[in-house]
Amino acid sequence: METKIIGSKIAKARKEINISQAQLAEKLFISPQAVGKWERGESVPDLVTFNRLATILGVDLNYFSDSFPSVNAETVTVDALPKAPVEKQGNQRSWDMSGGNWVDADFSGLKNLHEKFSGSNMQRCKFIGAVMPELLLKGNHIDSCDFRGADLRGSRIQESYVVKGRFNDAVMVEAELSGSHVKNCDFTGADFTGAKFTTSDFTKNTVVNATWVRTSFIATQISDVVINGELTDCYFENCSFARVTFERATLLNTFFKGRTLKHLHFVDCHADRMTYEFLKNGKANLDGLTVLNPEE
């Protein structure tokens, strides 16, 4: 598809819902200049952004292509299960639920799920207490979904937008989040043991009383976050920090490497000697941080 044709379609749909380029950019968490480039045919959105764009403009993905007729996006509920389940060893069924428009679906309490929801739009869906180890979410827009108490161990969230989600007490053990934008989510009481964040944006999230053991953040933007509790064997490499506060936290054997740490703040915190030296070497402001005695 020619970029100019896609651009004209974006502009037409935007004007039909009477919003400006700046307003569209704000909803997509991008700059107005990027929207201008799309509409002029100088560039095109990536797959993740196309999904979000279609939702905002009230069209389906086929709208952007002349190869397929456009149809109205349908609201899919839990009763509209996908066809043709794949039978796996041990008579375990594996459903592929990718490419859907899931709105207000309730999957709460379901067990032994191995669903794939890649390339999907998910709004206000419920997964409360669901068991979804090794779940794959790739290229999704996940807005205002409820994962409270869900088992997401070993799950992979890739190239997705996750906004206003509820992950209270969720099990995120060994989960991997890569190339994703995670904003305004509540992770109170979540278990991030062994979880890995890579080239992602972790912004304005609540992480009160979360478990941080062997958790790693690599090339990730972390901003407007307050972290408490104990961090053990955690790893921060080449991360960008903005308005990040450790409050009443204890940092043990936690590694900081790469970019300046001067935007970190500490309130009534403690750290072992090695962690303290990592922070000092990164020019962190160590006010509010006390070195633990070896006996402690």
Closest CA to 289 of 264, 261, 268, 263: 268
Q: Which two tokens stand for residue 293?
A: 């005695």
pLDDT at 119 over 90: no
* pLDDT surpassing 80 at residue 61: no
Q: What is the dihedral of CA 144, 146, 147, 148, to 10 degrees?
A: 130
Residue 218 pLDDT:
94
At residue 217, φ and ψ (nearest 5 deg) are -125, 120
Q: Token pair for residue 217?
A: 């953040």
- Residues 169, 272, 218, 239, CA torsion sign: positive
Residue 51 pLDDT > 50, yes or no?
A: yes
Domains of the chain are 3-64 (1.10.260.40), 86-291 (2.160.20)
Asked if the model's pLDDT at residue 256 lies above 70, the reply is yes
Residue 49 pLDDT greater than 50, yes or no = yes
pTM greater than 0.85 (yes/no) = no
Alpha helices in 133-182 (DSSP H): none
Res 90: pLDDT: 46
**Model confidence at 81, in pLDDT bands (50, 70, 90)?**
very low
Q: How confident is the model at residue 296 (pLDDT cuts 50, 70, 90)?
A: low
Q: What is the pLDDT of residue 32?
A: 84
Share of the chain above pLDDT 70, in %: 83
Gap between the Cα atoms of 289 and 227, Å rounded:
14
Query: Quick one: average pLDDT of 114-133?
Result: 83
Cα separations (Å) of 122 from 26, 140, 254, 284? 19, 7, 35, 39
Residue 289 bridge partners (DSSP): 269
Query: What's the rounded Cα separation, in Å, for the pair 107 and 196?
Result: 26
Count of other CB atoms within 10 angstroms of residue 251: 26
Tens digits of residue pLDDT in 205-241: 999 999 999 999 999 999 999 999 999 999 999 999 9
Higher pLDDT, 206 or 135: 206
DSSP 59: -
> In the prediction, which pLDDT does 69 show?
38
Distance CA 123, CA 127 (A): 12
User: Which residues have CB under 8 Å from 150's CB, separation 6+?
Assistant: 127, 128, 129, 130, 131, 132, 167, 170, 171
